[in-house]
Every structure is written in structure tokens, then in C-alpha cells.
Structure 1
Amino acid sequence: MPHSVASEDSPASHKDDEVLPDAPNAAEKNGDDVAEKATAGVKLEDMFNDEDDDDDEFPTSSTPVETKTQPTDAPGPPPVQVDTETMLAFYHRLFPFRYLFQWLNHGIVPSPDFGNREFALTLQNDAYLRYQSYSTADLFRKDILKMNPARFEIGPVYNRNPRDRKTLGAGQLKPLAKELVFDIDLTDYDDIRTCCTKANICEKCWAFVTMAIKVVDAALRQDFGFEHILWVYSGRRGAHAWVCDPRARNLPDDRRRAVANYLDLVRGGTQSGKRVNLKRPLHPHMNRSLEILKPYFAQTTLVDQDTFEGSEQAQRLLSLLPDKGLNESLRKKWESAPDRSSTNKWADIDALAKTRNSSTLNPAELRHAKQDIVLEYTYPRLDSEVSKKMIHLLKSPFVIHPGTGRVCVPIDMRSVDQFDPLSVPNVTQLLSEIDSWDAEHPRNGTTEGPDAEGSVPNDSDARGSRKLQDYEKTSLKPYIDYFRSFIAGLLKEERNGKRERNDDVPEVKTESMEF
């Protein structure tokens, strides 16, 4: 094959379609255990200033839909088989090692931020290697090319080199910093999505991920003041957030747990009664989330998923309403029209409530119940355990998902509504794009380097003065370009922060000494 690359120490074959968890168990094969007990939690009141909010009237189902049209519920293409040779070619020609180094190193000159960072490699034969570390980008790239892992994950920065853990005394290796991370997985929506189940996804149910990203991103920026948030497609059915601000990276576990709890709303199973129980007046975060989510409820829940069309979910909807008389009237109406759509059933709630002369029907309680229902069916369902501990490992951006062959690419928040997971390039496609480009441009030659080496970023590169990097010949280019711009913003703050810290140091005046 034109894109093949000779392998060093080629490992054994692997199960191409195996779905590995995004966060492996903390225990290594040799039995080392790095789990630490979480410290006591902090009060959220100490972290936020609550403001009085206005509990506006909840709009009807005629709320204008602001989301894009969802044209299909097809589960997407079949899994792509990624063999070891193809995986090695991807690492050799396309993986952005230099940029990943600069992202985690928080600068261009190697530092302990990268050198003491843990990496965990899943090899092609399913062997799992933890506590790997690298002092430079070149050593990192060399080891990945030698090991040719199916994937690798990123852990915390330790106080010592994690490779030395066996020579250190008990409790001497301690995590110091790590990005605050969040995990959204569509399998957590299986009880309310009707188009797909398990690992399958489509544009209709991907809307749940889109709305979750918007709500979480808004909270992290507006309520916590974080700025450098990298969203990454997981490669199959979810998304990850990496909050990279220095303040976020240095949060201890109790504060991470407090942030995760702040964003945790939908609790319990469908058989446990109400899963959303909010006090009034609503917290500003909930008011803002409702404004984001109401259009999605009108389109995704009522139309695309038609969630309440079936009898089980219709009964679930009735159980969440506060007035028994209204519930009985709705039940009779829906039983007489078993094919009634979710949109019509939702509209029936207000229509029948207006015709009833019931002393028990409280309009405010009904409005609040409807708000809680919208949140139960649209609010982010996060795997909060991922966020609560610094030692948690999370899959690296730009690795290949072994079950789909797709690259775990960044998601640009400026166009999050247009992000289509089914159009994300897979590794075979990318290597073919390089071959096609080279065939069409024989005079331009090809780039020997596998990744975009050099400082971050230089958008003024003259295309006529240098050979193109291989990634620039492919549909991976916009994703790496976005990653470069994200890193540039992060490094700028790192430089400014160091400058401000140096400016804060009082000037030390030296006086002559006489002997």
C-alpha cells in the first residue's frame, strides 16, 4: 500500500471492534493502586453568589425551533477495521505530536508539566501500560511509534516522574495538577432516545450531546470564569471537555467534586419517581439552562424522538404532573387516540388545564412541573465520576477509536450546531486523501515529518515556501488548525500569568557593603 510504514517491534494483532472504556480502572496489571480517598466536600454557597431570579412563564410547545433540521435516523456506516499497519501509518504521518506536547506542556520549552505527566497506553494485544512519561515531544513520538498503541490516555501531572514510582517510598508519588474533565455519553440517554441504542448514533440523538455541550460550556464560562475549554469528540458516541485554565488544572479533588455536583441534576432511574426536583426561585444556572434547552425539547424530544408517543413514556409524563384530576383527563384523551404525537400530548396539558375548574390545580405548580420535565429530558447527563478525581485517565484527543476508525477530533464551539460525528474522517479515509493529493501534485513532493513541527501557531506560513505537512492534504486539517489556535490562546495566558506573577514580586534593593 502507498501509505504503509515499516513497523518497529510490531505488536500482536488486536480486536478491531472492541469498545474500550474511556476511563480504565486505576489498577495496573502489576497491582499498583493509585486511587486516593477524596477529601471532604466544600459548600457550593462558598463558591457562588446566588442571585434572585425571575421565574418567567414557561412557553408552549410552539416555541420557535432554533436547531438544524435532522434529516435521518440511519445509524451510520459500519465499523472500520483498523489494522496495525494502518494505525502506525496514522501515527507516523498525521498525529500532531508537537501540538499535543505544547498543549500539555503549557509552553514550548520542556517542563515538568509534560515530563511528569502520566500516559497510559493500550497496546494492540490489549496489554495496558500505565505510568508512562516523556521529557520531550520527540521521545513521546518515538515511543508511540515503537509501541504503536491502539489508543492512549492522559492522566495527571505528578510531583515526581511517574516512571520512578517503584523506587519511591509509599505515598511519595502524588498528583499535582490535571485538566478538569467532563464526559458525555449517549448511552446515558437510552431511556429517552428512540432512534438508536447502545453504541449506535445518528444526527437526531447527537442533538442530546450538542445541547449538553452548550449547557456545560455556558456554566463553566459564566459561573466559574473558565475560558480555555477544549471539547473533543470521543470517536463514537460522546464528547469530552478539557478545562485547561491554570486555576482549573490546580483544583483539588474536593473542589472538582463540588463542580461536578453543581452540574449534576438528573438523578436516579426512571422507576425512582421524579428525577429532577428543583427549589423555586430557580438558580440563575437553571434559568439559563432552560433557555438553552427549551428549543431542543420542542424539536428533539417532541418531534425527532417523539418520546411520549408510546404508552410507557406517556404514563411517565403523567406521573410527573402535579394534579390528579388533570392527569386522569389526559389519560382518557390519550387512550382514545393511541397514535397521538408527543407534540400534541404536550400541548394537551395546557389546553385541558385551561378548561378545568379545579380548586386543586395550581398554575404555578403546573408551570414548575413542566420546567422540571424539560430538564429531565434534555439536561446534560454527565458521568460525574470522571470529573471528581485528579487521577482519572481520559482518552487523548486525536487518537483513533478502535471501533469506528474515526479520529477523536476537537469540536469548535463556534459551530457546535453544525458538528456531525458521522462525517468525522476515519483513518483509512485520511491516508487515502494523502495518496490522492500526492498523485495530483507530483511536483510539490510530500512532507517527511509526520506532524506539524514547530512553534504554535504560525498562520502566516507561505504555502509556496515550504512543503505541506501531510495533515494539510486531508480533511483533518481544520481540526488540527482549530487545535493550534486553541493552544495559542492557552499559551498566551500562560505567558501573561507568569509575567503578572513576576510583577507581583517586590523589588529587592541591594545596598553596597563596606568592609
Structure 2
Amino acid sequence: MPHSISSQDSAVNRNDDEILPDAPPAETVSQNQEPSASENEASGVKLEDLFNDDDDDEYPASSATDTKNVDFSAPEPAAAPGPQVDTETMLAFYQRLFPFRYLFQWLNHGIVPSPDFGNREFALTLQNDAYLRYQSYATADLFRKDILRMNPSRFEIGPVYNTNPRDRKTLRGGQMKPISKELVFDIDLTDYDDIRSCCTKANICGKCWAFVTMAMKVVDTALREDFGFQHILWVYSGRRGAHAWVCDPRARSLPDDRRRAIAGYLDVVRGGNSSGKRINLKRPLHPHMSRSLDILKPYFAQTTLVDQDTFVGFEQAQRLLSLLPDKNLNESLRKKWESAPDRTSASKWADIDALAKTGKSSTLNPTTLRDAKQDIVLEYTYPRLDSEVSKKMIHLLKSPFVIHPGTGRICVPIDPRKAELFDPLSVPTVTELLAEIDAWDAEHPPTNAGAEAADGEGSVPESDARGSRRLQDYEKTSLKPYIDYFRSFIAALLKEDRTPKRERNEDAPEVKSESMEF
């Protein structure tokens, strides 16, 4: 079992386990009307601008027959290598393991159903890759029933609207507006392909996952210390990245210009995979950059210089030289490295200071060299964010705890306090989890012959003949520590939401509507 979730977080308030209110009449479930492609175009919003996720190009095709009221305007993603989750396994996961009740409490910000959940948009990707948008549910029970009925490959979470998104066709243009949504961030390892040598594209390993770890640490620290946010849920994307959901009440209500400002504040590495300098910081360093540099230096020494051995090859060595400020020093380094073509990255990095100290370059400015080296450390380690995901409230993002169909792994939360202990390759797959349930049940047969398994995660298990609470299925598996962590996160968030608005806005730092300049 992965050790990324602290056992102490499993002690959460049992008041959160209250039985949810009964669902309204079932007729409301069938209103699955979907806008046509022309309606999407008329709104001025492109589907690809809304559906920003790191796994779009990995989504495998499978079969499904339920295509009524479906938007086929979404581009068909290419299939990806790896295990593909069949529809029966997917349905068993939703029936037995998916934490519907806790997801409801997270998005509803309470136990009693409210517009925070009822007016929230969900977008379902069906088994044939058709994309069904503007779904909404009044209660957790309705939500669970519809997911079991539709059995989607996965689903995304969108904003809360000022009205029920299912009613959009009855409204005039512009009347339905998003009013709140978590501030979200997306880290994808494909954005590091130019500097990771171990893997490419969708493939990952422990060595390159360190880029995600260091990005999480920098972003999480900045959000907490510079903006005062406290409730930040980090979630593994299921294959090669991580998402951050900033859930503080103040974050959820941020207008788009404030979201752009925060995204701009954190967006430092510019220019894609261009050959030019991608970081150019003013001195003295902004406190955020100085703090980030302190966080990232150890990762540069281990990940960039040792694990990735980034500068061992000719092209990256030339790239390193192009980022140094002194021509005479560069020429001396070039000659030294050409004479030893297999020289390691750690040795090449040490060569910079060693040759600089010889005094062979009369034009060398030590301060300029120090600044250049700091910029290099940041260029090779600073978070590379898909900032477009963060800038607009209307963006959709994959839900926590869904299955990545290419890997079969669950999109589990990550404790940022122990980010370096998280191993994406040890995250349980859906087939492993179902096998764990079977194994547990075989070792713990019910004491009364007529006992049946608890009715999925959304129910409150009855007591067995001995008076003990019957375990929910997820409690029999390696998914338990992740759901326990999620529950503890929700408990803290609900406590914050119960705090009077005036109190929680005291001392809230002002967020400027311009990108911060370094």
C-alpha cells in the first residue's frame, strides 16, 4: 500500500456520515438534453477550450449503445496503450467503490442539498467517447443513480451556475452564467519532455515524477503563503500528472480576471520548447522566486544532474552553454567537454564554477554568472503549468476518484505534506481493488447466512449479527487511506464554510488583476 496518506487523517468527524436526504421524484433524472454543435459555436466557446485535461489524447475507444442526446462534436481521442477497463468492471467500481457521498459533500459544501451542488455542471464521457455536457443533480442519490445508469468512462466537474444548467434551453442567451468554481491547476509531465531523459509522452517513472513533486511543492507553498489559501486538494490524474483544486470559499468566488492574475503570478517558464532563454528574472529576486529557488535547488542537484543526467548529451550541453553569460568561459567549457564527451551533468555543472575561479576570463562578472546559474536551476525545475485551465471559471476538470481507462489507476488525492512519498506506479488499479474486496470477503464470511454486502459507498452499512458496523467495500481495500484523507479534507472545508463570511475574509490578501512581474 502506498504510504502517501497519513493514518492520522482517517480520524474524521462521524457527523459527516449522516444519511443523505431522500431524492426527489425520478422523473428529473431523464432530462439529458444536450446542445448541438451549432449551439456551442453560437455561445462563442469552443469545446476544446472547456475540456482541458492532461489525458485527452490517451482516451481509449470502447463500445456503447446509449447515444441519445449526445454531443458528437467533441474530437475523437486516439487510443492509448495499456490496460483498458471494460464496462462491467467500470460499473462494479461505481457500484462498490466510488465515494459518491463524499464527492457530494465536497462540492455541496454541506450535507443538506444546496444550489452549490444542484446547479453544478457535470460532463460525462460515455463508453463510446461521446461527450454529454450540462448534466446536474439535486442530490447525491440522483447523481449516483445516473452514473450507474450511464456508466461513463469518466466525468468532469464544471462550475456552479446561477441556474440549473439543464434549463439552459429555456433561457435567453447570456442569462445562464457561472458564479463559482474551485481555482484549479494542471501539471502534465509531457510539458517536461524536453528536459526529461527517462521517459516521453504518456510514459512515466519515479525519476521523472519528481518534476510533478517539485511543482506541487512550489505551487502549494505559493498558494498558501502568498494568497492565504488553506484548502488545496491535490489529485493524481491517473497517468502522468496532477491537478490542484483550491476550495477555499474566497477562491471559489474569484472572477476570471483574478484567476488570470494568480495564473500569471505562477507562470514563469515561458516559450514552450524554444531554444531561447525561457526564464529572465529581475534582481533582486521576488520573494516567491527566492523561496522557490530554495525549494528547487536540491531537486536540481538530484533530478536534473543525476537522475536525468540532463546535460550529458551534446544538444543539452550546448543549451547549457547558451544560458551562461560569458563568452570566454563558454569557450573554455566547450573545449573541456569536447575532450570528454561522456562527462556527467554533475561534473559539467561543477566545471562552471571551477573554470570561473581560474581567472582565465577577464570579462567574467561573478554576480552575473550567479544570476545566470539561478535562472538555469529555475528553468529546469520550476513548475510548467497549463495556465489556461486556471484562467476561466468555465473550464472542466476530471473528477477525483474516477478511473484512468488507459492505466486502470484511480485518480486519488495526494497529501502535499508528503508529496515526495507519493508513488504513482503504486496507486491501486480498479482490478486490484475488486480483487481485494473478494479476498477480504473470503476471509471474513458474514456471521448470518442472509447477510448481504453493503449497498455501495453511498449507503450507511447496517450492523451484522454481532452488532459491529459492517464495512463498506472501499474499507476492505487499499483505496481506504485515500478516501479517509479525502474525508478529513472535506471535514476541514465544511468547518471553514460554516465560518461567518466576515470572519473568514478578515486579513484576506488582495489579489491584483494584473500578472505579477518578476
Normalising by structure 1, we get a TM-score of 0.81
Selected match of 1:497 from 495, 500, 505:
500
- Give the letter aligned to residue 139 of structure 1: L
Q: CA deviation at 1:423?
A: 0.3
Alignment of 1:17-96 (within 5 A): 29=37, 31-33=39-41, 34=43, 79-96=82-99
Question: Which residue of structure 1 aligns with residue 512 of structure 2?
Answer: none
Alignment of 1:443-454 (within 5 A): 443=446, 447-451=453-457, 453=459
Alignment of 1:1-400 (within 5 A): 29=37, 31-33=39-41, 34=43, 79-400=82-403
Q: Secondary structure at the match of 2:234?
A: strand
- Give the letter aligned to residue 180 of structure 1: L
Distance in 2 between the 1:141 and 1:471 partners?
16
Q: Give yes or no for the alignment of 1:480 onto 2:486.
A: no
Distance in 1 between the 2:160 and 2:459 partners?
24
Distance in 1 between the 2:404 and 2:36 partners?
22
Question: Which residue of structure 1 aligns with residue 63 of structure 2?
Answer: none
Question: Which residue of structure 2 aligns with residue 425 of structure 1?
Answer: 428
Aligned residues of 1:28 and 1:129 also touching (Cα < 8 A): no
- Give the letter aligned to residue 299 of structure 2: Y
Distance in 2 between the 1:179 and 1:99 partners?
16
Distance in 1 between the 2:104 and 2:332 partners?
62
Question: Which residue of structure 1 aligns with residue 67 of structure 2?
Answer: none
Unaligned segments of structure 2, at least 5 residues: 1-33, 47-80, 505-518
Structure 1 pair 418–465 and aligned structure 2 pair: CA distance change class (3 A): same
Distance in 2 between the 1:405 and 1:281 partners?
47
Q: Secondary structure at the match of 1:465?
A: coil
Distance in 1 between the 2:419 and 2:502 partners?
34
Distance in 2 between the 1:226 and 1:404 partners?
32
- Give the letter aligned to residue 236 of structure 1: R
Aligned residues of 2:124 and 2:152 also touching (Cα < 8 A): yes
Distance in 2 between the 1:279 and 1:172 partners?
45
Identity of aligned residues (%): 82
Q: Secondary structure at the match of 2:203?
A: coil
Unaligned segments of structure 1, at least 5 residues: 1-25, 38-77, 456-462, 502-515
Q: CA deviation at 1:136?
A: 0.3
Q: How many residue pairs are counted as aligned between the two chains?
A: 430
Structure 1 pair 116–35 and aligned structure 2 pair: CA distance change class (3 A): farther
Q: CA deviation at 1:500?
A: 5.0
Distance in 2 between the 1:230 and 1:300 partners?
25
Aligned residues of 2:279 and 2:379 also touching (Cα < 8 A): yes
Structure 1 pair 446–289 and aligned structure 2 pair: CA distance change class (3 A): farther
Aligned residues of 2:193 and 2:201 also touching (Cα < 8 A): yes
Structure 1 pair 298–396 and aligned structure 2 pair: CA distance change class (3 A): same
RMSD, aligned α-carbons: 2.0
Structure 1 pair 313–392 and aligned structure 2 pair: CA distance change class (3 A): same
Q: CA deviation at 1:272?
A: 3.8
Distance in 1 between the 2:89 and 2:434 partners?
8
- Give the letter aligned to residue 187 of structure 1: T
For residues 274-305 of structure 1, what are the alpha-carbon distances to aligned partners after superposition, in whole Å with 9 as ceiling and x for unaligned? 10000000000000000000000000000000
Q: CA deviation at 1:35?
A: 5.2
Aligned residues of 1:322 and 1:365 also touching (Cα < 8 A): yes
Structure 1 pair 153–28 and aligned structure 2 pair: CA distance change class (3 A): farther
Normalising by structure 2, we get a TM-score of 0.80
Q: CA deviation at 1:358?
A: 2.9
Aligned residues of 1:28 and 1:128 also touching (Cα < 8 A): no
Q: CA deviation at 1:271?
A: 3.2
Structure 1 pair 398–28 and aligned structure 2 pair: CA distance change class (3 A): farther
- Give the letter aligned to residue 302 of structure 1: L
Distance in 1 between the 2:453 and 2:244 partners?
32
Structure 1 pair 446–413 and aligned structure 2 pair: CA distance change class (3 A): farther
Aligned residues of 1:93 and 1:451 also touching (Cα < 8 A): yes
